[in-house]
Amino acid sequence: MTYGITDLTAFIIGTIFIVLLPGPNSIYVMTVASRLGVAMGYRGAAGVFLGDTILMVLSATGAASLLRSTPALFMAIKYAGAAYLAWMGLKLLKAAWQAWRDPRTGELAAMPVEHTRPFRTALFISLMNPKAILFFVSFFIQFVSPAYEHPALSFVILGTIVQLCSALYLTALIFGGVRLASMVRRRRRLSAAATGAVGTLFIGFGAKLASASLR
């Protein structure tokens, strides 16, 4: 056991696999980067980092126990998040349909307003992300020994590992998204189809969150 962490190797491996799973955070950041560039992509990533930090702090201070002991609170959070993700998905589908039908519709004109506020939107998505919520309230805290005298240090180390993995992954998605956008930007209908696919994914994420459980 190192610094109160029960199995550091298992935590790192588990974190990498969980971070690599597609989720609304990563899809949103990549979408913003592909349409508005690297800088805006990193603004979205910053919102994800802050949201994950908030979830980590809440987990370390007992929010997991509160959610487990108050099912109504968890239900309210998850349905609010599911509705928001589904709403974003529908707006993306609408934007895709408009871009498909009207060749004069540019990417920015067809883009939902949430894409012009990436930090705030990414923060909210992160706080309502089922993968992040379940990770921090179920997986994250299991690797901290309750007998260790300085549990805050354990959480800081684990949190730093999570954020480093997330930063590397989101950076790859940001530059990958920009590169992909440069390939399809001149193909209006292909770009519209990609936007529609992202909208469908967000609706799917909303449905997944609505069925999420702490068990």
- The pLDDT value recorded for residue 47 is 93
Pick out the chain residues at pLDDT < 50. Answer: 106-110, 113
- Listed in sequence order, the residues at least 6 apart from 204 whose beta carbon sits closer than 8 Å to its beta carbon are 89
Contact 111, 191 (CB under 8 A): no
pTM (2 d.p.): 0.73
- The pLDDT value recorded for residue 185 is 57
3-class SS string, 46-104: HHHHHHHHHHHHHHHCCHHHHHHHCHHHHHHHHHHHHHHHHHHHHHHHHHHHHHHHCCC
Helix ranges (H only) for the chain are 8-20, 24-36, 38-60, 63-69, 71-101, 107-110, 118-127, 130-134, 151-184, 188-210
* Torsion on CA atoms 6, 213, 28, 127, rounded to nearest 10: -70
Query: Domain extents for the chain?
Result: 8-210
- The pLDDT value recorded for residue 49 is 93
- The pLDDT value recorded for residue 108 is 43
